[in-house]
Each structure stands twice: as structure tokens, then as C-alpha cells.
Structure 1
């Protein structure tokens, strides 16, 4: 039985709350929890819980010893990477109170030392000494520790990339001192605004979430607490299970005290479905982090006094939930609630029902205010094993307290451009004047969606009719523009045809043209197989598609850009670098129109262009061509370095792309 959530206030169990002021959706849910249907669900869940074999997720000394012995064999054969992997498995399966854990840490430190990962080696030595370390092992690791220190002092003269600082606002958690909270008097809507002029690229927020959850496919790759990438083959184990790992002892202990002690070994029971599981788990985690003995008081507190200076549940509880418009989340909430009732059997049914209302509101708030977390990783370009780009991979979901106060614009002036684990970074996309509101994009952006598409998206997922300046002025994306037959300018079809240049209206049959473009787009997608099979055929087909598209679409259209991208790839594969560079440069111009230089998409295209340019400069080509390419290459390298600097890449991500090698 878990009691830590109730130790501070033992009278909590006898406290009552007035539910009559709750929104209709919450009162309706309370009624459902009293129904016979819910009792039937409870019986089935209890049966599933009782039958669940949690031991398969628990520690196993025998497995730990087997992994360690295999590691010793690899180490003796000087296969240190394989040895490291085996020792890490031994660490994960070893019980915390067994000598095997200390010995496994010590052995892993030996492998890390051989791999010249000296700082990580030092940390494992400290872990080995912290647990039950035998005297013979202790003597070895202390000698290794001094050798590590000597190596680090020798190698630490290298310059380190520095993170830019942000002067923090002491009254608003995680935001810069150039930002204040404001509230509109009529609608009571809140937001953030500038209290001084802000420069383009200036950091506006660096904040940890109130709570975050990691997607199951990343349990062994990222820290279960802070979501940072775990150094290769060097996880820190959970106290009791083998399902999740951490980046450090600190993160392990923090997660255990705040939430993991209640779910350890039972994580499968929290997966509502393969496609919808992060949000329910996040709602439950917020409940744990807010503490059950305090959360109901704050949930029913109607006072307007909010402390924005620190993470607190009262501010989270004040976030908009659109309870009257949200989808029906009760099946997922039922699962979380039933799990809660099993791990806290001391809770009576009335109290469980009240926590159900809290969970329901939380998942509705997450639906509106939650944010996916991404990790930047190198991926190979399809059809070209030599080309690598950075991709943002979804690794989890979080609820950010201060970030959730920022309102939407289809032409935002700020961008959440990077994550360091679950820590979010926000910067200014352009100059922001004093008293101007800070806006972010909720997924609808005038650079890649028409006005109708944006409004439909925001109405469907966020339940409001967008009245931002971009929508009021009918801002349209050049990336979807057709070719105006009157002036050859960009024309958009959004309910009616409108040329953004000559302003002509409904002056050509856009639907038939869009049908032709759609057919061409399908052909272009299918050319990946042709590229792998027959490059000459692929180049001929892509060239024909390019010529057809130029009759229908404007030069800024993203489909035309994709053709140029594939042609660049083909010409690179046949070693015609001049044409590969030409098409890469044309593709870059189109991508810059759609995304601007603040997005990783532009960085990737420019990086691939630089690699082609440098390869051409190293070849025997015409000197005049070399001179032109050299100048362009220098400019692109400066832009790449500027992106890395201005986007405040942490050490873990800065190492992904070493621009200096170019």
C-alpha cells in the first residue's frame, strides 16, 4: 500500500467538496462512475491487474550475472563496444542491494576507459563506489579513477560550445525578463507580451514542463525522467524494473520519488491504445507530481490568486480545457482511475470519483495545451546512403505551464525551436516591439496552409475561429501557389482563385489544374523506386515532370521543389556535381520561402548543398566555376554555423553535425 501521498495530511480522507459548481461534463462523468457499467469495467480491470505478470519486468540476478560474464568474454577479446553493451545489461538487471550492481558498474567503467570515454568512466566509478563495492574491486576502480582524471586534464584543453544565457523573469517561471503576463478585461483571456523591444533570435523561454512522459519505443534510448538521450550503452537502471532507464542517479531518484514508484513494473497496464496513450499517462503523472493530498484542494479552489513564478498545480488547473467541445476521453480516464484505485487501495469510492474529475479535466487541458517533444537525430536520405539529414523524432509529450499561456497566430513572432530532453527553448522569429503580444503557431501556419485550411484545423482541434492578422488579411502560402496565366505570378485557390500579384479573381480553371498537379505529385513520389533501379530513367522522368509542372505552378511551389530535390540527388549519384548543385540551390530557394532560415528543414538542404559544393571544389573542374562555387560555399557555411549558434544547440545535439569538418 502506498501512503506517501497522504502522510502530510491524514485528515484528507474525511474532507468533502462541493461538486455542484463543476462543469456539466464533469458531473456527467461522476454519474457514469456510479453506474453499473463502470462496476463491470472495474471487475474486468481488477481481473486483468491480478493476472498481470509483473515479475517479467523485475530485476533478475541470474540474468545480470550472465550478461556480466558475456561482457568479460568480449573484454578479454578486446571487443570493448560489445563488452560495454553486456555490462550495461548486467547493470539494468542487477538488484540494488546486491554486490553484482557495484561489480557491473566497475566492469562497465573499465570498458568505457578503453573506449576513451573518460568522463562517463568516472561517473560509473562513483556509482560502483556508492553501492556495495567489494574491497578488491574498490582498489581497482580507485586506480582507474586517477588514470581517468589524468586523461581528462590532458584532453580538456579543447574549446567547448557555450550555451547562450537568458536573463529570467523571477515572477514567471521559465521565461525571459522581457516578457510579462497580461489578461484581457472583457474575455479574461491571458497571454504573454513584451515589456521592451525584443531582437530577432533573442531567447524568450527556457523551461521544464510541469510533467512529461516518454513514448514506450524510447524507454531504453532516453532518460525516463528528463527525456535526454542516454549516452550510448551507458544507462542508469531503475530501482526495481528493467523496463525503463535513466541518464543518472539523480534522475532515477527524482522520478522514483515523484511518480515511478507507483507504476514501476506495471507500465503495460497504462497503455490505453497504441495510438492514444501519452496523454492519459501524462494526466496521471501530473496528478502524481501535484500530490494527491493537495490536488483536490487546488482543483476546487476558485480564488483568482495565481503564482506564476514556480511550477504549481493551481496554474495548471487554470488552463483552458474546452470541456464542452473535447472528444470523449472517459474510456482512457477510466483506465487511469482504476489503476489509481489499485495502487492506492486506502482511497474510498467517492475520493476516487473526484480524482476522476481531475484526470478528465487534465486530459482535456492536455488536448488543448499539451506539446509533443522531439529529439533531433541523423537519418539517411532515402535512395542515397551517403546523404544524412537531421530529423525531429517524436519522443514524448509534456504540459508546459508558462508556454501554455501563449496564444496562437498563423504568422507567429516566436518559435519553440528546440528541446534539450524535455526542456523547451523559445526564441523570437523577428523583432518584437514593446507591448506586442507573443504568439506561437499551434500547427496552422500561413506559410504552408491556406486560410480555409488553417481555420478548419484550428476549429477542429482547438475549438476557436482564428481572428489573427494573417487570417483577417487572408495571408496565403506561396508554397501552394499555381501559375497565374495573366502575369505569371503566384495564384492561390482557396474557395476561389486569387492572384497574389495582379489581384485577378477566378480568372482560370484552378480545379482542373490541381487535378493535373495531383497526378504529377503521385508520379513524383513513385520515382523513389525508379531512382534505386535506373538513374537515367529517373532523371528523364523527373525532367519531364519538372517541365509539366512549370506550366501549372509558380516557381515557389513545394511540389516543384521536391522534383528539384530528387533531380539533385540523381545527378549527385551519377557524379554530375554541377547539375546536382544547380538543382540543390533551386530547391533551397523554395524551402526558404516555405520555412525561413529558422527551421531545421532549411539547415538540412543547405548542409547537403555545402557537401556537394565542397566535393566539386576538390575535383578538377573549370577555375571560373570553382571561383563562383567557392564564394557560394563560404556563404552557406557561414549560414550553417550561424544556425547552430543562434539555435543554442546543447552539447549533445551540437555534436550531431560538425560543420567545421566541411
Structure 2
């Protein structure tokens, strides 16, 4: 797109950049007219839409080549590499019924099934066997492999049945003798072993049920002077209530997750991924997800999509969805040879999916096939965007429109308003799209929970998880909820569905608000405001951004030089007016006006941190940078900040040497471990000591340093020190958030893994109960679906407690 952007004349570039939303019909039509006479533009469009130039088309020759590479790896017993090559071969092999080489497809499936059998992936191997049989029911090798996998699962009766089918289909005498020998061996095993049944159900193909439909909580749209349109409850809402479930209007996987997660349900992809039958772009965790994303491929893909009979196959119903929702075959229009969907940014492809949904809905019901786009009734803030964003989005809109027109051919009409609507849709997505996240374990910490007394020699880890963005989606109703830096509802995802659950008691008539990202305790006030302004174009006026609170006072602050004074020292200037407001400015540029909370409701911590601000309300007060908010002592705040940054960097420096420590542990080079212990851990502890002299006891930097050192002690096997520093980190975070915040629960999981390593089962059980109560508040009955490790951890805690008793 840079080539097209640089080709736009300066005068037209200026008109687009300075134009408002009302000017879009004029500027987009001028831009389109310019591109229509530009050879470079037609070259770019051909590169994006011509199947002959596509990088994403199916290629049988490439599939055969990859299969051969997989065979070579399998012969060398390099099963991991073989699995990768066989999967890539399946990605490239045509599997459209009109073009499929049945023998090639079934052979690749069985080769991959054999590889997964070698790797111990039995359920995945069985699914590939079933896929090969579906393609070629008389393929003896598929039945043979299926029987052998079931033998590994000790499902002997079913294994014999499959092997007998293979025996009947085998045409070579050698093959028949091999199968007969396997049947005899299984019969011998069956005599002495009680058969263990196994289900042939493809669990990956089953959608996650939404257990517990929304309670009868009625929420309604409201409008307030500060926040405009939002949502409120008409009744009191108890904590942990499920208040909203919604499937997306459209969703798209992020490019960073294309090779690791299913492109439809967005769950982590298994080893036996399946692919789009028409192109090589997406991967799916199951046939079910593939069919829901692509639609019924039995119809001729080259047929006109203007016919209602063809379009009807693109609308899918599924029991997994939230109530009254419908699914649309969102990937169908993006493949079949063209690769524009693989090249354009994810949010632009998302806009294309919304437009395609609207186009096909119109065509299905015999309406005009003009591109108009749905009226989402969402804000777009077009006029507030930069000239660069305006130009880029108009270019992308033109490219996207022509890509859609190329797919739908003569059935698609467009007008000046079509382009304008598409540009605004792109900006609506910028402002209103929601990131779909998954919880990912960062250290394989589950092993710690199933081995009592893990030592350094066994590779101990501190169990931790983080949120990973995997997809982007538009939820029309979900977009109506306003943001708060201290939200009263928690948003999470089951497959594609957005779930909202209350995390506290919400009084009737009160706003129901979620977090768009930064929260109080996680990010300082000025950083939150900057982030929200840059991404969503509003200045937050929630309670945490309009009233002075403890976390913003202390999270970036320094400690008072006077012993026993808990007063905070900031790099900002605080000016308290006689009207009980505080103006906060940082470097003279950022100014925020905050109200002072009622002194009778201020907690002891906050009073000790900033006692000066709660003094005589009739007197104005100015607290300069470096001045204690309690006793008014001074420090050189610039020097303190520089020293603090240097010492924090020394703590983080430990991670550079983690690989060396792990290698030394694995090779039992105890002298090296001792050396690293002295040179790194002691240095980190010394830096922590200096940080404690500089930073406020409730600061975020101190919590992060304590957490880093806790994990360092876990790595070298000193679990007692790890416990001490992990608990210190949690105590600080409880001040910045609140004791029932979900961030505290995730930190408690780290502590549980340490307590289990120490054999302190009573403390581990009590800590787990506390973490589980918090997770239940945020996730309810979906807790173990979202946090996959939680069930294993619970069983480990119970097992340890039982053995201790």
C-alpha cells in the first residue's frame, strides 16, 4: 500500500487529510478516479486478485513434494519435523471434491496419523484415520492404523474390528499376513487385560457449551452528560451474575496467531489441524469449524453467488452459539485463488467480512446488491483521526471494494456512498472492535503441581499465565457498554462468544461498565488517559479518573526520606484548590482535575500516603515534584528516578543468564550454579534493597522486582526465599488493586506452585481456595474452561492434602 500512498498527488492528499466525514463522497470518488487512471493501481489489484499470481492457491505438486519431505523425516525418526511437513502437504493439496486426488489426500492423512501415533497423540491420530476413511472408505491402511492406535489405547475389541476390516480390504498377501499377526498379538493381550473403552467422539469437533445462560438481568441503553450513550441495569445485579452473551457480527484471527490457533473458534490448534478446501490461508481445529467458516463446498465454487440456492448454503445454524444468533460463512468470499485476505491488515479484512455479510443477505432476499454496508450505529470519530489514517483508510476501502467486486462480479453494484460507508466502517472497527484473548501458560508450570517437592534439579517453575490476543471482533451490543478504569463487569470469551459477568453488586440504575484495556492499579492515570485517547478518542471520566485514589498516588511514587513516614513523593505537581479539587500536572504538559474523596471515607493507607491533601479545605496547597505529600520533606526526584531505573534494570538483568542456569542444572554442574547464585541473585537482592530505599512501599516497580526475584529463586531451587518474595509482591498489588481483583488471583497461583514445592499443603489449599473464589467471581461456571490448568492444580492440591493427612 505504500506504493499507492506515495503516488497520490499532494493536492489530493491534502484534500483527503483535511476532509471531514461529510466530505467523504467527494474525496473517495476523486481518489478512485485518480487510481482508475494509474497503471500501478491496476497492477496492485491484479497481484491481489488474480488466481494465477496468488500465493495461496492449492498446488498438488507442492503437496507431493512436502509429503516426500515428511516421508524422509519419518524414516529418520524425526517425527516432529515429519508432522510439520505432512500438515503443510495437507494445506496445499486440493480437497475440493471436484479436484481432489483421493489416493493422495488419504495417504497424507494416514502418514500424519502414523506420525502422531509415534508421538503419542492418539486421539489426534484417530481423527486423521477417520478423515482418511471418509475420503477413501476402502483404504486398508487407514483401517489398519486406526486399529493400531486403538491397541495403544487398550481398546482391544474395537481395534480387532478395525483390523478385520483392513484384512478384508488388503489386496497383497504380505499385507494380509502382517494384519493377521497383529490380530493374534492383540487377542493374546486381551486375554489378560480388562478392556478399557475409548470414545470415538471428536472432542475437538464439539463446540464449547455456554453452561448457564444469562440470568434474567435486564440492561438498557442510557445517556449521561459525561459519557454519552452507555448501558445500565433496571434491577439490582448480584456479584458473579452472567449478564450478557453475544456472538460477533464478524471476527478475524490476528496474523500473529494464524499458525497457532483455529481461524474460526480461535482456540489453540491441535496437531491434527484441518485446512480450507479452497485456499492455503486458514487452519481449523476441526471439520466442524472449517465448515462453519467456509460453508458447504459441495456447490460449485465458480458458480454465481447471486442464486438464492447457493447463498442458502452459506448460512449455518449451530447449537453452540448464544441464543438467537446466526453464523455466516465468513471466509468463503476470501478464497478460491485470490490472496488479498492474506495481505491486507486484519481489521481491513474484518471490514470486508462485515460488508460481504450484508451483500449476501441482500442478495439472498432479492434486494439490491449495491454495496452499502450495515448501519451499525457505532461511533467512528473520523473527523478526529490524523491525515495519514484518513488517506490510508480511503485507499484500503477502494482496494477492498474492488476485491469484493472481483468475487461477486456483475452481481455487485457500488456508488459514491458505498465507498464512504466502507471508509466509516473501517473507522468504526478501529474504535469499537474488541480483542479476543486466550489465557496462555508461560512456563509449563503444571508440571510443578503434579510432582511433590520439586527441586532445582527437576527444573522447577513458578506457574504463571498471561492473556494473549488472538483475534479481533465486532460485537454490536457489546460495543454499547462504556469503559471504566475500575469496571463492575468482566469480559471474557468462550470460543467466539463474548461473555460479560458482574464482579460486584450493581445497584439498580447504575452504569454497567467494562474495561477497554488499562485499569487503575495496572497503569497510572496519565498513561491510562493517553492510551484511551490514542485508541478510543475519549478522555476517561470514570470514578478512578475523576477522583483521587490510592493506586495513582503510589504506583509510580518514591518514598519519604523520613523514617516511619509513609508519605508518597511524586514526579508530578499536585495543586489543591479551596473547592476540594486537585490539579495534577506532569512536566507542565498533562493536567488532570480530580475531586478529593470524602475524608470520612478515606482509608488509613491513603491518609498516611497523602495527609497534606486532606488538611484544611479552606486553604490552597501546592505540592511540588519531590515533595512528600505527608510531612513535606524533599528529595531530588530526578536523581531518584535515574537510580531507581538503573537498579530495576539490574534485577531484570538476571533473565539474560537464565539459559545458562538451566543448562548448569541439567548437567549437574553445581559449581556453576553456585557461581551464578553469587553473582546474579546477590546482585539482584542488593538492587532490590536499593529500590526499597527509593521507591514507595506500594509502588508497582517494587512489586515487579519482588516478583522477578521470586521466580529467580524458584529457578535455582530456593523455594523458601521464592515464597517470601512472592508474598511481598502480592501484598503490594493488593494495595494497587483490591484483594478480590483477578490480578491477585493470578499471582496467588504462582504462590500455590511454590507452596506445593515446599510441601506446605495446608497453606497451598487455603491459598487455592482464595484464588478459586476470585476466579469464580469473574468466570462463574466457566472458570475451568477459561483457565485450563485450574482443574489440574485443584487435583494436585487435594492429592497433596490427602497424602499429608
TM-score range, shorter chain: 0.7 to 0.9
Query: Offset of 1:375 from its aligned partner?
Result: 2.4
Report the equivalent of 1:334: 395
Specify the alignment match of 2:35 in structure 1: 40
8 Å Cα contact 1:179-1:192 kept in structure 2 = no
Q: Deviations over 1:464-518 (max 9, x none)?
A: 3433233332334143344356873353645317874353144564283265134
CA shift digits 1:125-181 (9 cap, x unpaired)? 443343354454565477579878758972579xx9x9773323xxxxxxx531322
Tell me the equivalent position of 1:6: none
State the Cα distance separating 1:293 from its structure 2 match: 6.3
Deviation per residue, 1:605-638 (Å, 9 max, x gap): 3233223323333xxxxxxxxxxx5543222232
* Cα deviation, residue 657, structure 1: 7.5
Match of 2:24 among 14, 23, 29: 29
Summarize the Cα distance change of 1:373–1:596 in structure 2 as closer, same or farther, 3 Å threshold. farther
Counterparts of 1:90-105 in structure 2, within 5 Å, are 90-96=89-95, 97-99=100-102, 100-105=104-109
1:154 to 180, 188, 197: 197
Quote the Cα distance in structure 2 between the aligned partners of 1:319 and 1:400: 11
Report whether the alignment pairs 1:424 with 2:566: no
* Shift in CA distance, 508/463, structure 1 to aligned 2, threshold 3 Å: closer
Structure 2: how far apart are the matches of 1:43 and 1:492?
62
Pair 87,492 (structure 1): closer, same or farther in 2 beyond 3 Å:
same
CA distance in 2, matches of 1:591, 1:111: 47
1:474 aligns with 2:548: yes
1:15-53 Cα distance to aligned partner (Å, 9 max, x none): xxxxxxxx9734422212332675237642321233466
Q: Secondary structure at the match of 1:222?
A: coil
Out of 174, 186, 208, which is 2:247 matched to? 208
TM-score by length of 1: 0.78
Aligned in 2, Cα 1:323/1:317: closer, same or farther, shift over 3 Å? same
> Does 2:329 match 1:263?
no
Measure the CA separation in 1 of the matches of 2:523 and 2:83: 48
Instruction: Please give the alpha-carbon distance, in whole angstroms, between the structure 2 residues aligned to 1:615 and 1:377.
Output: 22
* Residue ranges of structure 2 left out of the alignment (5+ in a row): 1-17, 160-194, 296-328, 446-455, 576-581, 583-605, 614-621, 628-635, 658-675, 798-805
* Pair 1:638-2:773 in alignment: no
SS in structure 2 opposite 1:401? coil
Partner residue of 2:380? 321
The residue that corresponds to 1:440 in the other structure is 514
The TM-score normalised by the length of structure 2 is 0.65
Secondary structure of the corresponding residue to residue 383 of structure 2: coil
| Alignment partners' CA distance in 1, 2:58 and 2:369 | 38
* Contact 1:420 1:650 survives alignment (8 Å): no
Secondary structure of 1:35's aligned partner: helix
Alignment CA distance shift 1:569-1:108 (3 Å): closer
Query: Counterpart in 2 of 1:89?
Result: 88
8 Å contact kept, 1:68–1:86: yes
CA drift at 1:405: 0.9
Equivalent-residue separation in structure 2 for 1:218 and 1:581 (angstroms): 35
Is 1:65 the counterpart of 2:139? The answer is: no
CA distance in 2, matches of 1:322, 1:530: 45
| CA displacement, residues 537-594 of structure 1 (integer Å, 9 cap, x when unaligned) | 4344433433333344332111111222233234444544322221111012223333
* Residue in 1 that maps onto 2:617: none
**Conserved? CA contact 2:250–2:330, under 8 Å:** no
Measured after TM superposition, the shift of residue 520 of structure 1 is 1.3
- Contact residue 229 and residue 421 of structure 1 kept, 8 A: no
- Which structure has the bigger radius of gyration? 2
Offset of 1:245 from its aligned partner? 1.1
- CA offsets 1:321-380 (integer angstroms, 9 cap, x no match): 223223433423423422431452446998153332222111221222111222222224
* Pair 466,133 (structure 1): closer, same or farther in 2 beyond 3 Å: same
1:124 aligns with 2:128: yes
Residue 504 of structure 1 corresponds to which residue in structure 2?
A: 612
> Residue 128 of structure 2: SS of its match in structure 1?
helix
1:405 paired residue number:
480
Aligned pairs (5 A) from 1:366-377: 366-377=429-440
Q: Is the 8 A contact 2:220 2:233 kept in 1?
A: no
Cα gap change, 1:89 to 1:261, in 2 (>3 Å)? same
2:158 is the counterpart of 1:50: no
For 1:59-458, what aligned pairs fall within 5 Å after superposition? 59-71=58-70, 81-96=80-95, 97-99=100-102, 100-112=104-116, 117-136=121-140, 140=144, 150=158, 154=197, 165-168=211-214, 176-184=215-223, 189-231=228-270, 233-257=271-295, 258-264=329-335, 265-267=337-339, 271=343, 277-291=345-359, 294=362, 317-327=376-386, 328-345=389-406, 346=409, 351=414, 353-380=416-443, 386-416=461-491, 418-458=492-532
Mapped contact 1:330–1:360 kept (Cα < 8 A): no
SS in 2 for 1:234: coil
State the distance in 2 between where 1:396 and 1:459 align. 22
Secondary structure of the 1:394 match is strand
Q: Secondary structure of the equivalent of 2:221?
A: strand
Given the alignment, which residue of 576, 582, 592 partners 2:724? 582
**1:658 aligned partner:** 792
Q: Flag the 1:51–1:572 CA change in 2: closer, same or farther, 3 A.
A: closer
Residue 609, structure 1, aligned to residue 744, structure 2: no
Give yes or no for contact 1:163–1:649 (8 Å, CA) kept in 2.
no
2:697 partner SS: coil
Q: Which range is displaced more, 130-139 or 100-109? A: 130-139
| Structure 2 residue matching 1:324: 3-state secondary structure | helix
Q: Secondary structure at the match of 1:227?
A: coil
> CA distance change for structure 1 residues 356 and 597 in 2, over 3 Å: closer, same or farther?
farther
Judged with a 3 Å threshold, the aligned counterparts in structure 2 of structure 1 residues 480 and 631 are, in CA distance, closer, same or farther, namely farther
What is the number of equivalent residue pairs in this alignment? 601
Structure 2 vs 1, CA of residues 196 and 183 (structure 1 numbering), >3 Å: closer, same or farther?
closer
The answer to whether the 8 Å contact 2:129/2:142 transfers is no
Pair 1:532–1:145, CA change in 2 (3 A) = closer
Query: Aligned-pair distance for 1:654?
Result: 0.8
Partner of 2:633: none
Mapped partners of 1:107, 1:612: distance in 2? 43
Compute the displacement of 1:438 (Å): 0.7
8 Å Cα contact 2:21-2:383 kept in structure 1: no
Structure 2 residue aligned with 1:488: 565
Question: SS in structure 2 opposite 1:184?
Answer: strand
2:5 is matched with which residue?
none
SS of 2:696 mapped into structure 1: coil
Cα RMSD, aligned residues only: 4.1
* CA–CA distance in structure 1, aligned partners of residues 686 and 74 of structure 2: 57
Deviates most, 600-609 or 368-377:
600-609
1:13 match: none
- Alignment partner of 1:510: what SS? coil
**Equivalent residue in structure 2 for 1:521, among 642, 645, 657:** 645
DSSP 3-state at the match of 1:567: helix
Looking at structure 1, the residues matched to 330 and 340 of structure 2 have their Cα atoms a distance apart, in angstroms, of: 16
Conservation of the 8 A alpha-carbon contact between 1:378 and 1:656: no
Aligned to 2:678: 536
Cα distance in structure 2, aligned partners of 1:143 and 1:568: 49
Gaps of 5+ in 1: 1-22, 169-175, 302-312, 618-628
CA contact (8 A) 1:377 1:656 kept: no
Residues 289-344 of structure 1: CA deviation (Å, up to 9, x unaligned): 2226639989999xxxxxxxxxxx85x61112223223433423423422431452
